[in-house]
Amino acid sequence: PVIPEDQVEIVEGCRLPVLRKNQEHEDEWPLAEILSVKEVSGRKLYYVHYIDFNKRLDEWVTSDRLDMKKLQFPKKEAKTPTKNGLPGSRPSSPEREVKRKVETVPLATQVSPATPVPSLPSSNGTARRLIPAQPGRKRKANCGGTDEDSQDSSDGIPSAPRMTGSLVSDRSHDDIVTRMKNIECIELGRHRLKPWYFSPYPQELTTLPILYLCEFCLKYLKSLKCLQRHLTKCNLRHPPGNEIYRKGTISFFEIDGRKNKTYSQNLCLLAKCFLDHKTLYYDTDPFLFYVMTEYDSKGFHIVGYFSKEKESTEDYNVACILTLPPYQRRGYGKLLIEFSYELSKVEGKTGTPEKPLSDLGLLSYRSYWSQTILEILMDLKPDNGERPQITINEISEITSVKKEDVISTLQYLNLINYYKGQYILTLSEDIVEGHERAMQKRHLRIDPKCLHFTPKDWSKRGKW
Ligand SMILES: [Zn+2]
């Protein structure tokens, strides 16, 4: 149908070039999709996703950044086929539909409005579901009542969805609400963090310019005043749980998702702001959380964490892993990974991270695996003047890196050659030099002597 020109309106699903600055701070006009439209003090704002760019670059833009001449209207048919393989159709007026969802629907519905809640494979075969927020639960005090209420599930009434340490593949990618980042800014200790992705914090907090977190217990508060009031009562200066590693200013704390549920859930909410490829579920009980901190006179400040299933049937030694943005690109990510393999070594097992990995996660793992394997290969001494020999299994046993990951890394580095009937690994000068340069930059290392960790056999323990 032909739409008269004065009625042309940009709605969700429209595509058009949008002005943005690239890394060199130059203007560029990549094609973007409009995910949402809102009006703030009479001015329209458009939430755009740049096609072929990572979602973390999605943002609200004003109309002067839109190239209206190249506007493409949404196609009637949805791109993604439904379960039975037939294309589903989008609602005829997506704009109104989305607005309603954003404004009035309670949190849990918002997390997955129309699609069935995807199931998490669990040992007893039942799917874990998000527990809805309590929309009717009004709080008396401005700061959300006592410290014992909202984020404490001990009363059995959670006011935020429960989540696990595992974040399973996100199948709700077409869900407009969860595709949009909903928290503007988080203040965590001396850092201000700009979230990259949606996180299911309570709806009423998503309109705040800044969400305040207690950097030690991770409780979320709606104002600086509330935070200050909280800090007079909160005496934590480190994550809960046991400190199982300390060297210099770096410590690791082990937190049981069952014993410290509130902390674990708050950690998952914070982490979700920076992890997109997975979805959160309610139950933290089956997970351990390893939080890395850096110490100063004010306390142990969270740098990053990873979660791990207490029992994994698939050799997973990491479920979710995150270095908080202020600490990224400084070697902390690799330190988290190294720590996860040190735990596996103590357990006498090989391990692998749960898939899928994020783009940044895969880069860190690739680099960790490469350096770890090259370290071993370069340490090999000639055997009676013969070429040194090592098997894939031996590499895997020494490093606790799962065999498949050893093989994929050797292939990625292109070290494997077939020569006169056998496989040989060839280390070129480029590889050796590159490795030596990389290792000189790797100042942060885990010292196994500083790890005080006894693995527990969770299968022998009662679930409760
Ligand atoms: Zn606190």
Domain ranges of the chain: 9-70, 106-362, 373-450
Instruction: Collapse the DSSP code of 378 into the 3-class scheme (helix H, G, I; strand E, B; otherwise coil) and give the result.
Output: helix
Per-residue pLDDT tens digits for 281-290: 568 999 999 9
Domain formed by 106-362, architecture: 3-Layer(aba) Sandwich (3.40)
Question: How confident is the prediction for the chain on average, in pLDDT?
Answer: 81
The answer, yes or no, to whether residue 403 has pLDDT greater than 70, is: yes
Cα(330) to ligand 1 centroid in Å equals: 27
User: 220 forms bridges with which residues in the sheet?
Assistant: 213
What confidence category does residue 131 fall into, taking pLDDT thresholds of 50, 70 and 90? very low
Per-residue pLDDT tens digits for 70-123: 999 987 655 454 444 444 343 334 333 333 333 332 333 233 333 333 333 333
Per-residue pLDDT tens digits for 39-70: 988 999 999 999 999 889 999 999 999 999 99
Q: Phi and psi of 338, rounded to 5°?
A: -60, -40
Cα(298) to ligand 1 centroid in Å equals: 13
Per-residue pLDDT tens digits for 160-212: 443 455 544 444 444 777 888 999 999 999 999 999 999 999 999 999 999 99
CATH number for the domain whose boundaries are 373-450: 1.10.10
Position 424 scores a pLDDT of 87
**In 10 A of CB 207, how many CB atoms?**
10
What confidence category does residue 278 fall into, taking pLDDT thresholds of 50, 70 and 90? low
Cα(215) to ligand 1 centroid in Å equals: 7
Report the C-alpha gap between 27 and 19 in whole angstroms.
7
Per-residue pLDDT tens digits for 215-246: 999 999 999 999 999 999 999 999 999 999 99
The β-bridge relationship of strands 15-17 and 31-40 is antiparallel
- Choosing from 26, 184, 354, 433, the catalytic residue is 354
Cα(266) to ligand 1 centroid in Å equals: 11
Nearest one of 128, 148, 130, 129 to 140, comparing CA atoms? 148
Higher pLDDT, 124 or 192: 192
User: 17 forms bridges with which residues in the sheet?
Assistant: 31
Position 18 scores a pLDDT of 96
Position 95 scores a pLDDT of 38
Nearest one of 57, 77, 271 to 48, comparing CA atoms? 57
Cα(306) to ligand 1 centroid in Å equals: 20
Cα(333) to ligand 1 centroid in Å equals: 25
Report the C-alpha gap between 283 and 301 in whole angstroms.
25
DSSP class of 231:
H
Cα(399) to ligand 1 centroid in Å equals: 38
Position 221 scores a pLDDT of 97
Per-residue pLDDT tens digits for 1-54: 555 545 578 889 999 999 999 989 999 999 999 999 999 889 999 999 999 998
Asked if 354 is an active-site residue, the reply is yes
Position 385 scores a pLDDT of 83
Position 374 scores a pLDDT of 96
Position 155 scores a pLDDT of 36
Position 382 scores a pLDDT of 84
Cα(338) to ligand 1 centroid in Å equals: 29
Domain formed by 9-70, architecture: Roll (2.30)
Position 149 scores a pLDDT of 40
What is the identity of the amino acid at 226? C
Position 453 scores a pLDDT of 93
% pLDDT > 70, the chain: 75
Cα(272) to ligand 1 centroid in Å equals: 19
Position 144 scores a pLDDT of 53
The answer, yes or no, to whether residue 156 has pLDDT greater than 50, is: no
Report the C-alpha gap between 438 and 144 in whole angstroms.
49
The answer, yes or no, to whether residue 407 has pLDDT greater than 60, is: yes
Per-residue pLDDT tens digits for 258-274: 999 999 999 999 999 99
* Triad 147, 153, 159: Cα angle to 5°: 80
